[in-house]
Structure formats: structure tokens, C-alpha cells
Chain A
Amino acid sequence: MSTPALPLELDALIGWSDQLTEEEREVRATTRRWVDGHAQPHIVDDFEAGTFRRSHVKELAQLGLLGAPLPAEYGCAAVSNVAYGLACLELERCDSGLRSFVSVQTSLAMYAIWRFGSEEQRRRWLPKMATGDVVGCFGLTEPDHGSNPAGMAARCRRDGDGWVLGGTKMWITNAQIADVAVFWARESGGDGRILGFVVERGTAGFSAADIPHKLSMRASHTGSLHCDEVRVPEAARLPGAAGLVAPLACLENARYGVAFGVLGAGMDCFERARTYSRDRRQFGVPLAAKQLVQAKLADMAADLVEGSLLALHAGRLKDKGQLSSVQVSVLKRQNCRKALRIAREARGLLGANGIVVDYGVVRHMVNLESTYTYEGTDEVHTLAIGRALTGENAF
């Protein structure tokens, strides 16, 4: 076989560009341009400093990335789910933390208000969240209840014409910078349902704290939320949310973006590993001339092709309103697994340089450990698939 003059583009191997609409390709391109110009140059500094750059909020909003798939009447871009997924991919090509910011704002906080909020709540919050004037977070996980949110300890109780909230949420993305939190709590008395509330920063008894010393998602804020006898009016309750199905529907929505996003991190790792192995010479030849190295690159690329096609397929189903919960589990589990495996392989291929943050792959690798865990751990999705296949609940 003769050596091709130019290495094959991953996109050409995936062969999906003709499957995308002009808008979808352009959404991807404009996101990528912004990422290359404004996010990539700072990401190593931000990751090392353990911070999310506040100026990104307005820039992402101006691009129309906040709430992108939600309806235009609330100030959102109303792009297809495929376009939104591709934007997530391009954001995460830079860093999973950057994509996490957009995911939480869009697919958890804004989505919860759009899907379960009253018309008044939608009009009050969504336009401001789309412009980045209001940052949101989503508090479901607790210190003692992660994979099993049904066991949550947070409580809400009726008090006159309002509610009183109590409890602690843990591992909450954007907690420290959020202006509003979607806070989930179980009703004391009544039907004992899980209810959702939009709690504003500054409400008496409500506080957020940083979770320090993270080695993953350093360019994203992760914190805790604490409600100590927090009084909110009935107007703060999401009227459409009754029961655990509500927060789970939000997670299902967000998982789709995660699964599309992690492909970006995987692609960046693959490209860095490919470039490195073509440049780096050992034993008199480029590493890329070695069969073991090619086998790794081939596995990575094949995983990315599979993951991309699965994500595109899921996006088309989602656009038709046909994507099922268990299909999302397959998608999230497979793509997060693949991306993490690719990052680990890439880390190895870069040798000692692979452990240096400037080379990118180790940063992706540790970030992808979080994507493996959040939005339902790998095991939780495995159990969800198993339950759907067998009818037996093994949780």
C-alpha cells in the first residue's frame, strides 16, 4: 500500500458531513471558531488555576449556545438537537468543563424550567438565562445519595402559601456562580413527592460552597448547595414536576449532550496522539510506523466513528421525539467509556510528555473520569439497560 500524501481526516472517516444540514454544519463551525479563538488559548491556565472564566458566559450567550435547542420565543436559538450535540462536541474538544457549563445551563437548569415550569416562570427566567445574565445550576445529588436519588434527604414542607426547604446538595456544577438553583426536595407529609424549586441566590438560609482539591473538571465550578429553613413562595415551585421522573427527565436530556460532547475530548486526544506519533521518532522511525502504535490509533479512530454515528442517530431520533430513556443509557455509557479509553491510550502514546498538562491529553483523561461518573455512572446505565432487556431490576 502506498502512503497517502495527507493523513485521512477523522471527519472523512466518519463520513457524516453529508448527513448534516447546512445549519448543523455551520453551528459546529461557528462554535469551533469561537473555541479556537477564545477558549483554547486560556484552557491550560484555567484548568491549572481551577477556574471557569467568567467572561465565557457572555461570549457563549452571544453565540447563542445557552439554551440553544429551546424555543425562540424564550430568546433561544431553537437549533436541532443534532446541531446542539455538535456544538457540545466542539466545546468539549477544548475541555469537558467548558461543555459542562453549557450542559448544566441548557439541558438541566433551563430545560427544567422550560419543561416543568409555569409560563410565568419560563418568561421570567429563560430569556435572561439565554443571555447569560442569569446562571443556573441543578441540585439533585446529595452527600449520601448519588446513584439513588430516590433516597434523597432534602425536604420541603408547605408553610402557609409558600414552602420551606432544607437539605444539602453535593457535586453541583456551577453552584458557586449560579444566580438560581433548581433544587429538588421530597415533600414532608402530603404525598411525599419529589418537587422542584427555583431558588434565587441571596434567599435567606440558602448558601453555596466550593468543593476544593478536585483533580478533574478543574476548569468548571463544582460545589455544594445548602438550604437551612429556606422560605420560598409557591411561585418558586415548578408546577409540572411531581415525582422523581421530573429530575430524571432533565438528566436524560442532558446525557444526550454529554454523550455527544465526550466525542470532542476523544477526538482531540486522538488527533494529539496521531500528530505526536507521526512526529516522534524512536528506533529510527516515527512511532506511527510501528504496528502496535497503528493498532492503537485504529482502535481509537474506529471507536470515534462508532460513537459519532451512534450520537448522530440518537440526535435524529431525539429531534423526532423518539429517543427512549434506555437508548440514552446505551449512548451515554458507550461514548463515555470510549472517550475515557481513548484518552488513556493517548496518554500512554505520548510517553512522559503525556503527563504534562500542556499536551492536553492528561487533562481530557482526568475530565473524562467525571463524565464516566456524572449523569448516571457507567454502572447505573448498565443496570438500566439490563433492566430493560430482562425485566429484572438489579439496582
Chain B
Amino acid sequence: MKILVSAKRVSDPNARLHVAADGRWVEGDVEYILNPFCENAIEGALQLAEAHEGTETVVVGIGDEDTARFLRQGALARGIDRALLVNADEAAIDSDLIARIYAAVVAKEEPDIVLLGKQAVDCDSNQVAQLLAEYLGWPQATFASKIEVVGSEVRVTREVDGGLEVLGLTLPCVISADLRLNEPRYASLTGIMKAKKKPLDELELDDLGLGAATPKVRVVAMSTPPGRVAGVMVKDVDELILKLRTEARAI
């Protein structure tokens, strides 16, 4: 079996970001972390590989040398076999183009399972797995909380409103990982030392036939939430109810 997983870097949710001068992206002394849902996908792939001998795991990232660091330290150091970096400007691609890039990589790599994080916690678009399944014409299961390979079928448990849904998918398929899929392991010191020696191949968009591809969605503007305004003291409950009704229109 061969499993392709995603690794996207995202700005640290605790970092303070500033909107860039052109109003379309963020800047600042941004600390990046590996997208937590990608960590779940990586762990999911490692567990499947441990359960099924002979499984090859490949991580795919899109970005630059800094993304390569996350491929090495977030994926290879944890035990993923090899990495592919697609060189591209992260700020200039949308979910759709990411899905097209993954589809082109899938055509080259021919995996049995593509396991992606359900969304990246920076832009929260939650679209790539779905778009990718469509482009490939493969079955998909999103928000996986459990993955098992049973014979020629993949059983995916999904958390849905009020309960669980278990889907059986034929291979090859696309799965997106939810937080409860697993608890990602820590990279071990041995893994960290081995990461640099594992293969990390770089691909250009041209190699994937996407040299001229353009995103379909463009960021028009970004803004930070308005600062909090000072609260007001009310003198009694009656005034509170009045203000909630007339000013806040909450009741």
C-alpha cells in the first residue's frame, strides 16, 4: 500500500499577525507551526503503515525551503518514508490550485490513499480533500475519526451530528483527518537525526503541468477584528434588559 499525506505550515495561532501593506496577506515576525490536522494525517498514515507491512508513506508539501523544514521535522522525523516539496508561493495559490497540485502529484505517485488534514487552521477553508476527490474521481470520506483497512475496503468512521457514521470506501480514495483520529506522536531524537538523510525531492509547478495555472479565488482584502470597546456599567437589571433589546438587539 502507498499513502500520500499532506503537511502544510500555518502561522502560529498564538502569534500576533499584521495585515500587510497591500491588504491581501499577513506579515510580521510570524512563527509557523505544522497544521495540527496534518499532524493527525501523518500519525494516521504512520499507524496504517505499522499495521500493514510494506506500506510506503510519502508526505507532500507546497511552499519553499521553510515548508521543507516542516516536511523533514514534522513528517520524516516522525517516521514518514520520503517527502515531496512542490515549489510555489503559498500566498498565490487557493484551495482549488492546491487540489490540482495534489491531483498532479497523485498521477505521478499513484497512491492507494491520500490522507489530508481536514483543513488548515490559518484560513480554515476545508476544501482541498473534497476538491481533490472530485478531480481524481475517487471516493472520499471527510472528518475521519478512525481509519481501518479491511480487505480491499477502507472503513472510515466520521463524527456526524448526534453520532458516528461508518463508511466503506473502495481504494484508491481520499480521506481527511479530524482531530480525534489520533494523538500525534512526538518526533524522537533518533527520528530527528534520520530526517535529513531521507529523500526529499523537489518539484516545480512546470513539472506537474501547472506552470500556467492560476487560482480561481483571489483575496480581495484582509482586516483584523475591531479592537474591543470599553464596557458600560448598567445600574440595574431593567436597564440591562432595555439595552440588550434596543442597543445590542440580542433579545
Contact = CB atoms under 8 A, between A and B. Distances in A.
Interface of A: 5-6, 22-23, 26-27, 30, 33-34, 62-65, 68, 72, 77-79, 83, 87
B166 interface: no
Given A6-B16, A22-B69, A22-B73, A27 B192 contact: yes
Contacts of B191: 64
A75 to B, nearest CB: 9
Given A27-B189, A78-B193, 6 more contacts: A22-B72, A22-B73, A33-B186, A62-B186, A77-B188, A79-B192
28 contacts: A5-B16, A22-B196, A23-B193, A23-B195, A23-B196, A26-B73, A26-B187, A27-B192, A30-B77, A30-B186, A30-B187, A30-B188, A30-B192, A62-B188, A63-B186, A63-B189, A64-B188, A64-B190, A64-B191, A65-B189, A68-B189, A72-B193, A77-B188, A77-B189, A77-B190, A78-B193, A79-B189, A79-B192
A26 B186 contact: no
Interface bracket on B: 10 to 19
A32 to B, nearest CB: 10
B146 to A, nearest CB: 22
B43 to A, nearest CB: 14
A87 B188 CA distance: 12
Contacts of A23: 192-193, 195-196
Contacts of A78: 193
Nearest to B196: A23
A26 B71 CA distance: 13
A6, A27, A65, A87: which has the most chain B beta carbons within 10 Å?
A27
A176 B195 CA distance: 37
Interface in B181-207: 186-193, 195-196
B221 to A, nearest CB: 24
Given A33-B186, A34-B186, A63-B186, A26 B16 contact: no
Contacts of B69: 22
A77 B193 contact: yes
Listed from nearest, the 6 A-B pairs whose CB atoms lie closest are: A64-B189, A77-B189, A64-B188, A77-B190, A64-B190, A30-B187
Contacts of A72: 190, 193
A22 B69 CA distance: 8
A270 B71 CA distance: 34
Contacts of B196: 22-23
Contacts of A22: 69, 72-73, 196
Contact of B193 (A6, A63, A65, A79): A79
Contacts of B77: 26, 30
B189 to A, nearest CB: 3
Contacts of A27: 189, 192
A30 B189 contact: yes
A77 B187 CA distance: 12
A352 B196 CA distance: 50
